[in-house]
Amino acid sequence: MSTVKLTIKQHDGTERLFAVFEYNKELNEAVRQIPGARWSRSNKAWHFAVNKEVVKLLREKLKGLAVIDTAELKLQLQERNEVRLDKRLVSSGSGQEAVTVGSMLKPMPINNTQTVALKAYIELLRLKNYSHNTIKTYSNWFIIFLNYFPERKPSTITKYEIMDFLVHYRNSAKWSSTVQNQLINAIKFFYEQLLNRPREEYDLPRAKKEFKLPSVFSEQELKRIILATENLKHRTILCLAYSGGLRVSELVNLKIRDIDTDRMVITLRAAKGKKDRQVMLSPVILELMRAYYIAEREKPKVWLFEGQYGGQYTTRSIEEVIKTSKKKAGVTKKGSIHALRHSFATHLMESGTDLMTIKDLLGHNSLSTTSIYTHVSKKHISKVQSPLDKLGL
């Protein structure tokens, strides 16, 4: 069965939804009959208005004739519609706005005093040079805290009321050591850093920290995932993440000037903890980068990976890339883009690389953080014979 790939392209100054497929007389006629279809001589493809009804019509009319591939379309729409917390905070409308916390929408504070406090809170986080992710996390938790006291001026909320909120939230939501630490630290930042109040201790029993092993893909699984990624930019992103153990934030923040082909190193600037570090530039990934650069119609200008509409590529788009590639490759093992970093470290350990070198490549502060990979490495486990094997069953 044929495949019709849907993608958004600029055509005559406007965005159009293109249906790309190998020529098939019956399929071509079916697409031509769909209302609004126009033929592009330059692209040699049918195109439509960017409309969800068009996608619905294509699915209905081409059922049994072709498979509709919307993977690239979904990435384009997510990239275009990516809305950051910063943009929502600068507006000053009187209606309720919303910010995303996990999968839930949290209303912005409607109390004017709280809105002023929130903006001052975010501004101080920026002045203290906190990372974008930390600012987003702290702000989201602070908004949840403010929403618990809708009519209150934040500076008048007492320690006992804060304790009441923490107990309430602990009993009514999914709780973990990470959630507890983030929530308490977000509250403490407001009172201790912004209002300059004395340091407070909130006597809440600390949630037990879970010991979870990182998800690691086998080399065979990684090969299947990479080969299933047909888009050259997407394949380059996945290979780069694995070849150097990069975090997703490091992938989107990578600039063209950070690739040193003479010394064969990649410089990761102001990575987690605002620290620079270097990782090796694999000859394989270098060739892939060059092929990707040549193939791009709109050449990247600043960032190594740029969106279709210019500017930085988004972390959400990268997460969607690996999700789609895993599905195509038939890899059901749990693991996001960060699992490529885990796989990089584990495979290095299994091939004999010492722990200190892996620590430096990953940019860890402590060797104890890196030692987690000793628990998932099969290097020593594979040498141990199970007692079951000796029973001669």
Closest of 1, 134, 146 to residue 65, by C-alpha:
1
Q: Determine which one of 247, 277, 326, 359 is catalytic.
A: 247
Active site residue 206: no
Helix 283-295 and helix 232-244, axial crossing angle in degrees, nearest 10? 160
The DSSP code for 128 is: T
Q: How many CB atoms lie within 10 A of CB 174?
A: 6
Active site residue 338: yes
Q: Is 55 exposed, middle or buried (0-12, 13-18, 19+ CB in 10 A)?
A: middle
Query: From CA 312, how far away is CA 299, in angstroms rounded?
Result: 13
Whole-number Cα distances in Å, 358 to 58, 224, 254, 377: 50, 25, 21, 13
C-alpha atoms less than 13 angstroms from C-alpha of 46 in its C-beta half-sphere = 21
Active site residue 378: no
Q: Determine which one of 59, 106, 316, 338 is catalytic.
A: 338
Q: Determine which one of 277, 341, 347, 359 is catalytic.
A: 341
Active site residue 364: yes
Active site residue 341: yes
Query: From CA 360, how far away is CA 75, in angstroms rounded?
Result: 33
Q: What is the DSSP string of 329-348?
A: HT--S---THHHHHHHHHHH
Active site residue 132: no
In degrees, rounded to 5, the angle at the alpha carbon of residue 276 between the alpha carbons of residues 275 and 281 is 145
Q: Determine which one of 136, 233, 359, 364 is catalytic.
A: 364
Q: Determine which one of 152, 269, 272, 323 is catalytic.
A: 272
- Furthest-apart CA pair in the chain: how many Å? 76
C-alpha atoms less than 13 angstroms from C-alpha of 64 in its C-beta half-sphere = 4
Closest of 231, 284, 278 to residue 250, by C-alpha:
278
Look at strands 265-268 and 259-260 and give their pairing.
antiparallel
Whole-number Cα distances in Å, 243 to 234, 340, 342: 14, 9, 11
Q: What is the DSSP string of 251-278?
A: HHH-BGGGEETTTTEEEETT-TTS--EE
Active-site amino acid positions: 247, 272, 338, 341, 364, 373
